[in-house]
């Protein structure tokens, strides 16, 4: 038989000392402290899968089998100890490694006698830095929504909130998931003069040229021309944003020639309230021909008739008379001025004129 592949043990049971804590392998003389820490009601409440009651036999199994198995599987399980006395204060480890993504999940608990001293934050920061230095590209940290203590630790270390992971699919109704933003009928919207279709990777060059135009760049929030990488990400991710119901980004085309005219977007900013925001931009050579008004009308009718929206709104800079004329012609009504709503140039704040459209309003 040929040589068998070796497991990829990224982390070794080495000692790490940083930020006033010591991360070290577990020892049998930690049994009593591990048992006391894992039997604590707060640890039991927020750490899934612990035996209840948690005994010294459970602690001995963890020290002799569980923690070594974590290292053998490509993760890690360190005892967090006081660097002066070497007494166990808690644990921190890495689980669920995904080597092909350079990804792992970090977790921890701290013993009752060590709480309130910043031990968890220090240990999590130390192991995170060690993991990244060893080639890990991404760490995930999961907490229950009600575990504010753990969330404070995550934020203090530098983790950023990314969302709430739902329960498993077992409780969901059968069949496909509901789409907040349906596909366009036949893949496009048209009035015979303009065509709207989904923005995609092939639109990167033209979209970058559009948003680099001085007038379009001045209306961005904050103002300024984008980096090409930003536009590439936007075009590549447009379909995904559409599928999850965040935004429907579209390309505006000339109906006769198929030439690129500009972009328009329906941002589903308040789905619970049935509200969305629209935005639009055109290349200079297509302005003044009514294309923006036609695109807004198509977008509004799709939003009301197919998405089921109860309200559309748009904002413009007070001096942007051309954009305001588009909204007026499309049936939007001016609703007011929001002072200092948007970030402007050089750290300033600028006003926004707000327009709204309801399904009962006539679309111009």
**Mean pLDDT, range 95-121, rounded to an integer:** 95
- Average pLDDT for 164-192: 85
- pLDDT tens-digit map of 225-282: 999 999 999 999 999 999 999 999 999 999 999 999 999 999 999 999 999 999 999 9
pLDDT at 48: 87
Please give the pLDDT value at position 164.
Answer: 85
Please tell me if the domain spanning 16-157 has the same topology as the one spanning 185-357: yes
- The mean pLDDT value for 53-73 works out to 95
pLDDT score recorded for residue 5: 31
Q: Answer whether residue 10 shows pLDDT above 60.
A: no
**What are the pLDDT digits (tens) for 110-161?**
999 999 999 999 999 999 999 999 999 999 999 988 899 999 999 999 999 9
Q: Count other C-beta atoms under 10 Å from residue 5's C-beta.
A: 6
What is the CATH architecture of 185-357? 3-Layer(aba) Sandwich (3.40)
Confidence of residue 29 (pLDDT cuts 50, 70, 90): very high
* pLDDT value at 34 more than 90: yes
Distance, first Cα to last Cα, the chain: 77
Average pLDDT, the chain: 92
In the predicted model, is pLDDT for residue 316 greater than 60?
A: yes
What does the pLDDT read at residue 178?
84
Phi–psi pair at 82, nearest 5 degrees: -70, 125
DSSP 10-78: ---S--EEETTEEEE---GGGHHHHHHHHHSHHHHHHSTT--SS--HHHHHHIIIIIHHHHHHTT-EEE
Whole-model pTM?
A: 0.75
User: Does the pLDDT value for residue 13 go beyond 90?
Assistant: no
- CB-CB contact of 197 with 251 (8 Å): yes
Q: Answer yes or no: is pLDDT of 322 > 80.
A: yes
Cα angle 99, 101, 103; round to 5:
75
Confidence at residue 221, expressed as pLDDT on a 0 to 100 scale:
84
pLDDT at 102 over 60: yes
CATH class of this structure's domain 16-157: alpha beta
Which pair of structure tokens corresponds to residue 10? 């990224």
Beta bridge pairs of residue 230: none
Domain ranges of the chain: 16-157, 185-357
């Amino acid at each position: 038989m040929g040589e068998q592949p070796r497991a990829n043990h990224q982390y070794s049971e080495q000692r790490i000392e940083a930020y006033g804590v010591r991360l070290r392998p577990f020892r049998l003389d930690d049994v009593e402290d591990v048992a006391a820490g894992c039997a604590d009601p707060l640890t039991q409440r927020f750490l899934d899968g612990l035996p209840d009651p948690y005994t010294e036999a459970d602690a001995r199994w963890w020290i002799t089998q569980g923690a070594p198995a974590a290292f053998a599987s490509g993760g890690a399980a360190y005892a967090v100890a006081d660097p002066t006395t070497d007494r166990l204060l808690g644990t921190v480890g890495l689980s669920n490694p995904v080597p092909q993504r350079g990804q792992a999940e970090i977790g921890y608990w701290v013993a009752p006698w060590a709480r309130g001293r910043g031990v968890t934050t220090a240990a999590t920061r130390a192991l995170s830095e060690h993991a990244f230095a060893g080639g890990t590209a991404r760490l995930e940290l999961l907490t229950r929504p009600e575990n504010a203590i753990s969330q404070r630790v995550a934020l203090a270390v530098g983790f950023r909130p990314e969302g709430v992971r739902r329960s498993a699919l077992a409780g969901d109704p059968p069949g496909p998931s509901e789409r907040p933003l349906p596909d366009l009928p036949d893949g496009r919207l048209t009035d015979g003069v303009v065509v709207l279709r989904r923005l995609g990777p092939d639109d990167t060059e033209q979209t970058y040229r559009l948003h680099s135009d001085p007038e379009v760049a001045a209306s961005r929030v904050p103002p300024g021309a984008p980096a090409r990488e930003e536009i590439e990400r936007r075009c590549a991710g447009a379909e995904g944003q559409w599928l999850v119901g965040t935004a429907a980004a579209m390309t505006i085309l000339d109906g006769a020639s198929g030439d690129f005219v500009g972009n328009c977007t329906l941002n589903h900013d308040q789905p619970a309230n049935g509200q969305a925001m629209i935005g639009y931009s055109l290349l200079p050579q297509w302005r003044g021909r009514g294309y923006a008004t036609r695109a807004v009308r198509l977008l509004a009718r799709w939003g009301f008739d197919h998405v089921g929206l109860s309200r559309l709104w748009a904002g413009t800079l007070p001096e942007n008379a051309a954009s305001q004329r588009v909204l007026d012609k499309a049936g939007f009504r001016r609703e007011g001025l929001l002072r200092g709503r948007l970030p402007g140039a050089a750290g300033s704040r600028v006003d926004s004129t707000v327009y709204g459209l309801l399904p009962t309003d006539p679309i111009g």
